[in-house]
Amino acid sequence: DAEITQSPRHKITETGRQVTLACHQTWNHNNMFWYRQDLGHGLRLIHYSYGVQDTNKGEVSDGYSVSRSNTEDLPLTLESAASSQTSVYFCASSESGRSTDTQYFGPGTRLTVL
């Protein structure tokens, strides 16, 4: 069965360190997204990609970067981790650019920045 996976599931790091969260999907979807989930804010979009070599900034992109070198993967990098980036991170994918398409979510990565 097709799926979307994230790794690691839990990560503890220190302020100032670079951290990369992995996202891998086997749906062969063109679109991939990264969200963060914080109490009281729901999910907020960090970055998204409509295909290989395409990346775009979302609502809360400062301090984050992504790259899309193939269809299956969209790693999220925190260049210099800050305590404000402690959150739960979700990756999602969808087939195409139609507004009716469903986004499918991964299980999430809980990141703690000390």
Partner 1 sequence: GNSVTQMEGPVTLSEEAFLTINCTYTATGYPSLFWYVQYPGEGLQLLLKATKADDKGSNKGFEATYRKETTSFHLEKGSVQVSDSAVYFCALQDRAGNMLTFGGGTRLMVKP
Under rule CB under 8 A, residue 101 binds partner 1: yes
Q: Is 43 in the site for partner 1 (CB under 8 A)?
A: yes
Q: Does 58 bind partner 1 (CB under 8 A)?
A: yes
* Residue 1 touches partner 1, criterion: CB under 8 A: no
Q: Which region, judged by CB under 8 A, interacts with partner 1, from 10-18, 63-71, 79-87, 104-112?
A: 104-112
45 binds partner 1 (CB under 8 A): yes
Nearest of 94, 87, 92, 86 to residue 107 by alpha carbon: 92
Can you tell me which residue has the tokens 């993967």? Answer: 73
By CB under 8 A, is residue 49 in contact with partner 1?
Answer: no
Is residue 18 a contact partner of residue 79, using CB atoms and an 8 Å limit?
A: yes
Output the six-digit token pair for 1: 């069965």
Q: Are 92 and 47 in contact (CB under 8 A)?
A: no
Q: How far is the CB of 71 from partner 1 (least distance, A)?
A: 16
Question: How many chain residues touch partner 1 (CB under 8 A)?
Answer: 27
The dihedral built from the CA positions of residue 92, 97, 99 and 102, taken in this order, carries a sign that is negative
Q: How many helices (H) and strands (E) does the chain have?
A: 0, 11
Per CB under 8 A, residues contacting partner 1 are 31, 33, 40-45, 48, 50, 58, 90, 92, 94, 96-108
